[in-house]
Structure 1
Amino acid sequence: MQANKKIVLIGTTGSSFYGFRADLIKQLVSEGHTVYALTSEYTEQCLEKIKVLGAIPVTYQLSRGGLNPFADIQSFLQLKKILKNLQPDIVFSYFAKPVIYGSMAAKAAKVPTVIGMLEGLGYTFTNQPEGQSAKTKLIRNIQVLLYRMAFPCLHKMIFLNPDDQYDLMQKHNLKVAEVHILGGIGLNLEGYPYSEAEMSPVKFLFIGRLLKEKGVFELITAMRLVKVKYPQAHFTILGAIDHQNMGALKQVELDALLEEQLFEYPGYVTNVNQWITDSSVFVLPSYREGVPRSTQEAMAIGRPVITTDVPGCRETVIDGLNGFLVPKWDAEALAEKMCYFIENPEQVNLMGLESYKIAQEKFDADKVNSKLIEIMGLKN
């Protein structure tokens, strides 16, 4: 019988624990382990939701996006003190900064097992049509230097896709004793029941922040191209403007597009599964992902996917089977595949069924969490 363990999960936003880690936390708690959730961005409501899962919330300070070395040193020292007090058996950090400073703090606190997980490499590792700016390259070099300091503190490292492992570890000669490819953080599939799509008309759906890196500008160009050929084509965009991001769609641009009536825009919604059910085809022309959750959700419900042949996105589509992979930054290719579904509506549910089968096999949270628990060394 596996002895009960103290497990510390180190993240940033409180919502990430109950939004993406809920099933894992509940499973660990049900097996008798004590779980602490360390969060740096939270509300009292967030902390209550974490408690409902059975975890013990602990708050700490961390600037998720800043590059202030003094603030980051303070975060490291605070994490080290918390971990020394808790004396956990396992520390599991996710997101870039927690992996860096959480892992170093865990080693300093002599934690027996230290695990990191990167669900994507972020914008500094994302190619741009015009090339990366000097500032972006500098920030990436700083990140790599910090990873070079942190990775020797890790016993195990988890990536969602093999491209991320290659682009970070192989290219920069970083080493960890054990490396695992998870293939997606998974979904509670009960929340995404399969349904056949309606095709009168074929409805295209995009879900994501309205960012350049999500391919939103290529999507808008592709929509216009499709509308020239099929004026009644129906598009929906779900997601908020990220006003803090330099690559975000501007509010004035969004207002002009809505005036043009190019697409339906409900904004940010919480009932994503209902919108997917009401759609026919899911579209994500992103520049790079870990393994996109929105695509997993669409596949679970049984929708074909048009996405880009880039890291993370290519993990979700077998080209021609459950959708199409198109070249990045190519609005014409994207429009062509959307037109294909308008012209061949019978393919929507045929390919959608294949998406459903792939989701059942690859993206079931029970299977993913079972793999994570095995990586943690907690299998009975």
Structure 2
Amino acid sequence: MKICFFADSGSIHTIRWCNYFKSLGHDVCVISLNSTLMEETKVYPLGLEGIKPSGGNWKTLFKYRQVKKLLKEIKPDIFHSLYATSYGITGALSSYHPYVITALGSDILVSPKESVIYRILLKYAFKRADKITVVAEHMRPAAIELGAKPENVLAIPMGIDRAVFNSKNRVLSEDKFEVVSTRNFEPLYNIPDLLNAVKQVLPQIPNIHVSLLGSGSMKEELIQMISDLGLDNQVTFVGKKPQPEMAQILNRSHVFVTLSSSDGNNISLNEGMACGTLNIASDIVANRQWIEDNRNGFLVPLNDVDFLAKKLVEARDRFDEFTKQAAPINERLLEENGIWQNNMKRVEEMYHQLLKS
């Protein structure tokens, strides 16, 4: 099967999808708006850099003629856009079939609410798609509200690779209370709330240390904030890391924190669960599907720094007892719905059904 993904060639999601389907023997290539090259996967760059997570990427629409021309050359069996707005809409304009769109979260949960134009364009794209996949069940109504036929919308989480994310090599520091965030430095992820909470708990947890993995438009602002709060010795910017290194850092961490305002399926949370961290997450639908508050993690209200600080202290005080309680629950939840290979088999089955029809 020849599969052409229309997606960000620099995204870990794109890399994972390509590597998985190549491992099964499929012929895989990527058309990307940016010019990032990939190892062992053919990339057709469109030379449009600087796609913003916050939106306003209207210039992408003018690339549809290039996409159409490339598709005539590639002639894939399946054309699949990862991310519904910039890629999904532009891909729909190319009029190629079978066409699949995967929505990852804010592309249908946030963008259509903030922009009438996005809403109109997404309705157009979803009507042109043969199948739409979303990464969590709570996203299905949003896709249907945007014009997708219910029978064409499949909820398929991405999940984690247990060969990479597991707790086999878990070794915790005896000197520091290690907290980690693997979310990018964008407003959606509320990293400043974590920094303010760390400042607040410093008298109670003087050995607290935070590792920030990721990148994003707010990095300089966060650097200044850390300096202003006097947290230079408590916070380390780790940068973007490949998955094996992320797993190593998670296995050295006591607590994983995710404070996103919106999410599809929170893969970062799944990774923490698999590596045995005590997980503190924002109280949103995406996280409630994985965490039952005070049973296998803590849920905190959005933008409530005081409450987050309280939970960091509680996490320190109850760490051994709580992680022992949470471990079997997390294991069961991941096995039921969070394993990458199992979920990708469903995507491959969808491809075959599309080709048959």
TM exceeding 0.5: yes
SS at match of 1:210: coil
SS at match of 1:203: strand
Relative to structure 1, the CA distance from residue 14 to residue 211 in structure 2 (aligned partners, 3 Å threshold; closer, same or farther) is closer
Counterpart of 1:252, as a letter, is Q
Matched residue, 2:135: 160
Deviations 1:92-149 (A, max 9, x none): 11112111111231xx24x2x21100111249817xxxxxxxxx96x52111111122
Relative to structure 1, the CA distance from residue 222 to residue 254 in structure 2 (aligned partners, 3 Å threshold; closer, same or farther) is closer
Segments of structure 1 that go 5 or more residues without pairing to the other structure are 127-135
Matches within 5 A, 1:190-229: 190-195=163-168, 198=172, 200=174, 202-228=177-203
Relative to structure 1, the CA distance from residue 312 to residue 42 in structure 2 (aligned partners, 3 Å threshold; closer, same or farther) is farther
Identify the range of structure 1 (34-43 vs 10-19) with the bigger mean alpha-carbon deviation: 10-19
Relative to structure 1, the CA distance from residue 159 to residue 15 in structure 2 (aligned partners, 3 Å threshold; closer, same or farther) is closer
Matched residue, 2:7: 11
Counterpart of 1:39, as a letter, is S
Matched residue, 1:102: 91
Segments of structure 2 that go 5 or more residues without pairing to the other structure are none
Matched residue, 1:35: 28
Q: Which of the numbers 180, 194, 218 marks the counterpart of 2:154?
A: 180
Give, in angstroms, the shift of residue 356 of structure 1.
3.5
For 2:57 and 2:263, locate their aligned partners in 1 and report how far apart those are by CA, in whole Å.
26
8 Å Cα contact 1:152-1:176 kept in structure 2: no
8 Å Cα contact 1:37-1:57 kept in structure 2: yes
For 1:209 and 1:67, locate their aligned partners in 2 and report how far apart those are by CA, in whole Å.
19
SS at match of 2:221: coil
SS at match of 1:100: helix
For 1:215 and 1:148, locate their aligned partners in 2 and report how far apart those are by CA, in whole Å.
29
8 Å Cα contact 2:33-2:60 kept in structure 1: no
8 Å Cα contact 2:35-2:48 kept in structure 1: no
Residue 121 (1) aligns with residue 106 (2) = yes
Matched residue, 2:271: 297
For 2:68 and 2:239, locate their aligned partners in 1 and report how far apart those are by CA, in whole Å.
37
8 Å Cα contact 2:18-2:28 kept in structure 1: no
Give, in angstroms, the shift of residue 76 of structure 1.
0.8
For 2:232 and 2:56, locate their aligned partners in 1 and report how far apart those are by CA, in whole Å.
41
For 1:373 and 1:203, locate their aligned partners in 2 and report how far apart those are by CA, in whole Å.
39
8 Å Cα contact 1:15-1:42 kept in structure 2: no
Identical columns (%): 19
8 Å Cα contact 2:102-2:134 kept in structure 1: yes
Identify the range of structure 1 (13-22 vs 157-166) with the bigger mean alpha-carbon deviation: 13-22
Deviations 1:190-244 (A, max 9, x none): 112314564745432222223332121221222233224x14251313235523x
8 Å Cα contact 2:182-2:214 kept in structure 1: no
Count of residues paired in the alignment? 345
Counterpart of 1:186, as a letter, is G
For 1:295 and 1:155, locate their aligned partners in 2 and report how far apart those are by CA, in whole Å.
30
Counterpart of 1:57, as a letter, is V
For 1:98 and 1:287, locate their aligned partners in 2 and report how far apart those are by CA, in whole Å.
23
For 2:342 and 2:353, locate their aligned partners in 1 and report how far apart those are by CA, in whole Å.
15
8 Å Cα contact 1:302-1:354 kept in structure 2: no
Matches within 5 A, 1:50-65: 51=40, 55-62=41-48, 64-65=51-52
Superposition TM-score, scaled by structure 2 size: 0.85
Relative to structure 1, the CA distance from residue 353 to residue 255 in structure 2 (aligned partners, 3 Å threshold; closer, same or farther) is farther
Relative to structure 1, the CA distance from residue 62 to residue 124 in structure 2 (aligned partners, 3 Å threshold; closer, same or farther) is farther
